[in-house]
Amino acid sequence: MAQSGRDIKRRMQTVKNTQQITKAMEMIAAAKLRKAQQRVERSRPYRNQIEQSLVRALSAARSAGEEVPELVRSSDGDRVCLVVITSDRGLAGGYNANILRQAEEYLRQHDDVQLVLIGRKARDYFRRRDQAYLADYVYLGDEPLFAQAQEISQVVQEFYINDLFDKVVILFTRFVSTINHRADLQQILPLGVFDSSDYANTNQGNREQGQELSSEVQSLYWYEPSVGEVLAAMVPLYIDTVIFQALLESIASEQGSRMNAMRSASDNAGELLDALNLSFNRARQGAITTELSEIVGGAEALG
């Protein structure tokens, strides 16, 4: 029993140490989540305004018969570039597993898919499966910069312009709340989906109600030197912004998932400690009973 009791106490100490680590990681994730959530909430109005301005400019270009940039023109091909965003670190619950499962499902449903991977987990996952990819970006940090999003965007645009694929789709985790995150699949190229007729049905998660544009409002806008040149500058900026927004949403979702996972781990450690403590007390009580029985038996034998 003595050895068993020591084993239980040793295991209890190990669980206590693990619980201290998970509680510390939970607090760190909570602090990072607050910052990430603030960045997401501040960036969403900017992204929405960029999108509305782009819709206005595209509508004006079509009305004036102006030529739109190549990135806007629709393509009939089936070649796809899938941009997958995961984290660089684990211990975030099902955050990475959900995204990678969605990516695998997309690959099964489409025949010709090229990959651009963001995050070490995505890179390592597809590398282990000998899946080829065009580019990978790892260790962007917990506070990604807009310049990093621009670098990714520029590479994707160059690939698209050089006809490596016909459309670009980004797969990321949208932050809804601290405990609610969902995998989101969004097409970013070509921008032919931004017709004024179907704008109200596009990206509802990024706009508030009542933001559709009327023709009277559109008629108040003038574009200098021309709407074509404005679009040439605005379209790349929009793509940069979409990728940056996806990075921010993913970071916030990662921290939320990690905080919830570490909280669950701490709770499970507490339950395990209670069970081990009960086992230890039972073992100790059994040892005491055995010793008393031996003493009583010895006394009776002597009598």
Cross-strand bridge partners of residue 189: 168
* 3-state SS, residue 303: coil
Cis peptide before 236 (omega within 30 of 0): no
Start and end residues for every CATH 1.10.287.80 domain found in the chain: 2-30+259-302
Find out whether 25 and 91 touch, Cβ atoms under 8 Å.
Answer: yes
Start and end residues for every CATH 3.40.1380.10 domain found in the chain: 32-258
Question: What tokens appear for 80 in the block?
Answer: 């796809």
Cross-strand bridge partners of residue 169: 82, 187
Query: C-alpha angle 93/96/100, rounded to 5°?
Result: 140
Residues 6+ apart with CB under 8 A from 238: 50, 51, 54, 191
Kindly state which CATH superfamily the domain 2-30+259-302 is placed in. ATP synthase, gamma subunit, helix hairpin domain (1.10.287.80)
Q: Looking at domain 32-258, which of 3.40.50.150, 1.10.10.60, 3.30.428.10, 3.40.1380.10 is its CATH number?
A: 3.40.1380.10
**What is the pLDDT, as a whole number, of residue 154?**
94
pLDDT along the chain (303 residues), means of 10: 71 92 94 95 92 86 77 78 95 93 94 94 95 94 93 94 91 92 91 48 41 46 82 91 96 95 93 88 77 71 67
**What is the pLDDT, as a whole number, of residue 194?**
52
Whole-angstrom distance, CA of residue 246 vs CA of residue 56: 23
**What is the pLDDT, as a whole number, of residue 198?**
39
Nearest residue to 228 via CA among 110, 68, 38:
68
**What is the pLDDT, as a whole number, of residue 265?**
93
**What is the pLDDT, as a whole number, of residue 303?**
61
Question: What tokens appear for 71 in the block?
Answer: 């990135």
pTM listed for this prediction: 0.82
Q: How far is CA 191 from each of CA 72, 74, 146, rounded to the nearest angstrom? A: 4, 7, 21
